[in-house]
DNA sequence: GGTGGATATGTTATAACATATCAATAGTGG
DNA sequence: CCACTATTGATATGTTATAACATATCCACC
């Protein structure tokens, strides 16, 4: 699996807007956890901050571990997997099954209440550059999927959809 | 991940209809390979036969390896991964990304020509019993997915959709 | 300001999934 | 038969994820 180069938030200076986006996201995460009685500890915050620094490029757990070790040299695989589990339980991070990688939830979709039910994300993944974009799953699409599954007798839930292809940039380059 | 018990085609006697389904599928596979200049060797046939014996329960590569070793004691991981690669290249087997497991293509959907393009399967997976059903991706759904992705500038291809939930049987038991 | 339960982290080891490499062998066409 | 290519055998390793158990921290209560 080829992957894009990673960004180390401790070294590579982010642009001002990216940095403030990250700060906003971290503040939001802290708030969200507080509201749910979950503890947003330093370890969890560090992991989320690293993921947020990647700008739409998911990281594998071991890439994350390498970056985490720059701040916390003793970190081990369980360190990152536990943080990821926590962040996923709290819907702050998603796992991309098709690439074994992890991405912060962008919650562009959580601004207001969803009558249709729980958070059902959809990802658009570029097979060329790795860019991964989370978009809201269209309601009509959601209903069509649920309904079609029900025609086969299945009751399906809100696991992320992963669609692979080429991002706008790579489409342009490609021809 | 919990998985259902496996069926060993060499020992557990299949019902007549299941056995003949398997034979038909194997014959079809042989034909299909012949037509494409691909060699349907004994090793590949054995692997496909084992998968076909599972009746809608995907196997992991190492479950498959254990079963294969009953016929071929020297089999190693590369033995099964090579066979799986071949079978996937020839669209005889699918990989289920969300469970790291493998399932024979049922090609209920390949009976006639598809104007919409390549084989774009959809799987309905039961999280309780593991049953995995391959169904044709509805054309309207396919178009909606393609179109919505294009609205975001992405050009997406025919990777399988994996929808998780409860199968009819497990829904009934569940309440 | 102790005590105890719950939650989180540290530490070591291992399970589970997948591929690289190179030598040996078997099919294929001249 | 020979050279060529695809396939298989065999060994080792890489990659992803969790088990198991010890320790530390937080917090409510006395
Ligand atoms: Zn999300
Ligand atoms: Zn791209
Ligand atoms: Zn199929
Ligand atoms: Zn079921």
Of the candidates A137, A155, A65, A139, which has an alpha carbon nearest to the alpha carbon of residue A101?
Answer: A65
The sheet carrying A161-166 orders its strands as A132-136, A121-126, A161-166, B155-156
Q: What is the pLDDT of residue A174?
A: 80
Give pTM, 2 decimals.
Answer: 0.91
**Interhelix angle for B139-151 vs A139-151, to 10°?**
160
Closest nucleotide to A73 by C1' from CA = C10
Strands (E), B64-140: 93-96, 101-104, 121-126, 132-136
Closest nucleotide to A78 by C1' from CA = D18
Q: What is the pLDDT of residue A4?
A: 73
Residues with Cβ within 8 Å of B48's Cβ and at least 6 positions away in sequence, in order, are: B25, B26, B29, B83, B87, B92, B93, B104
Which DSSP symbol is given to A167?
-
Q: Is the pLDDT of residue B54 over 90?
A: yes
| Chain A residue with the nearest C-alpha to that of B168 | A153
Q: What is the pLDDT of residue B2?
A: 57
Two tokens at B67? Answer: 């079963």
* Residues A148, B72: Cα–Cα separation, whole Å: 42
B157: nearest CB among A148, A157, A165:
A165
Q: Is the pLDDT of residue B1 over 60?
A: no
* Residues B160, A86: Cα–Cα separation, whole Å: 28
- Number of Cβ within 10 Å of residue B120's Cβ equals 21
Ligand with smallest separation from the Cα of B153? 2
Ligand with smallest separation from the Cα of B88? 3
CA-based end-to-end distance of chain B: 23
- Chain A and chain B share a number of CB contacts under 8 A equal to 88
Q: What is the pLDDT of residue B14?
A: 61
Beta-ladder partners of B164? B125
Place B22 in a pLDDT band, splitting at 50, 70 and 90. Answer: very high
| Chain B residue with the nearest C-alpha to that of A168 | B153
Of the candidates A27, A134, A41, which has an alpha carbon nearest to the alpha carbon of residue A83?
Answer: A41
In chain A, positions 2-61, which contact chain B (CB-CB < 8 Å)?
Answer: none
Strands (E), chain A: 93-96, 101-104, 121-126, 132-136, 155-156, 161-166
CA-based end-to-end distance of chain A: 23
Q: What is the pLDDT of residue B138?
A: 94
* pLDDT, tens only, B132-144: 999 999 999 999 9
- Number of Cβ within 10 Å of residue B119's Cβ equals 15
Chain A residues touching B97 at Cβ < 8 A: 97-98, 162
* Residues B62, B116: Cα–Cα separation, whole Å: 36
A60 touches A3 (CB < 8 A): yes
Ligand 4 center–CA B128 separation, angstroms: 5
Q: What is the pLDDT of residue A61?
A: 98
- Number of Cβ within 10 Å of residue B133's Cβ equals 20
In percent, how much of chain B has pLDDT > 90? 80
Q: Each residue of B142-169: b (16+ CB within 10 Å) or e?
A: bebbbebbeeeebbbebbbbbbbbbbee
* Residues A78, A72: Cα–Cα separation, whole Å: 13
Are B154 and A165 within 8 A, CB to CB? yes
SS3 state at A31: helix
Chain A residues touching B133 at Cβ < 8 A: 152, 154
Place B115 in a pLDDT band, splitting at 50, 70 and 90. Answer: low
* Residues B4, A173: Cα–Cα separation, whole Å: 46
Q: What is the pLDDT of residue A115?
A: 66
Two tokens at B155? Answer: 């050009």
Distance from CA of A45 to the nearest CA of B (A): 27
Place B12 in a pLDDT band, splitting at 50, 70 and 90. Answer: low
Place B174 in a pLDDT band, splitting at 50, 70 and 90. Answer: confident
Strand C contact residues in chain A (53-72), C-beta within 7 Å: 72
- Å between A77 CA and D20 C1'? 15
Chain A residues touching B96 at Cβ < 8 A: none
| Chain A residue with the nearest C-alpha to that of B140 | A144
Q: What is the pLDDT of residue B163?
A: 98
- In the predicted model, residues of chain A with pLDDT beneath 70 are 1-3, 9-16, 109-116
B124 touches strand C (CB under 7 A): no
Domains of chain A, with CATH numbers? 1-105 (1.10.10.10), 110-175 (3.30.1490.190)
Q: What is the pLDDT of residue A113?
A: 61
Q: Is the pLDDT of residue B116 over 50?
A: yes
A100 touches strand C (CB under 7 A): no
Q: Is A149 on the interface with B (CB under 8 A)?
A: yes
Q: What is the pLDDT of residue A1?
A: 47
A166 touches A127 (CB < 8 A): yes
Ligand with smallest separation from the Cα of A165? 2
């Amino acid at each position: 699996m080829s992957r894009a180069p990673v960004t180390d938030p401790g070294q590579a200076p982010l642009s001002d807007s990216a940095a403030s986006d990250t700060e906003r996201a971290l503040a939001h995460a802290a708030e969200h956890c507080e509201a749910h009685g979950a503890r947003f500890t330093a370890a969890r915050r560090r992991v989320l901050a690293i993921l947020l620094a990647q700008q739409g490029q998911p990281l594998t757990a071991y890439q994350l571990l390498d970056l985490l070790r720059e701040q916390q040299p003793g970190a081990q695989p369980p360190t990152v997997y536990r943080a990821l589990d926590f962040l996923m339980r709290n819907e702050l991070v998603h796992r991309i099954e098709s690439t074994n990688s992890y991405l912060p939830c962008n919650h562009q979709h959580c601004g207001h209440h969803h009558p249709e039910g729980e958070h059902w994300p959809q990802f658009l993944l570029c097979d060329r550059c790795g860019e991964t974009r989370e978009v809201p799953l269209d309601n009509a699409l959601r209903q069509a999927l649920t309904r079609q599954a029900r025609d086969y007798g299945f009751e399906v839930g809100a696991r992320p959809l992963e669609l692979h292809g080429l991002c706008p940039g790579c489409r342009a380059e490609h021809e």
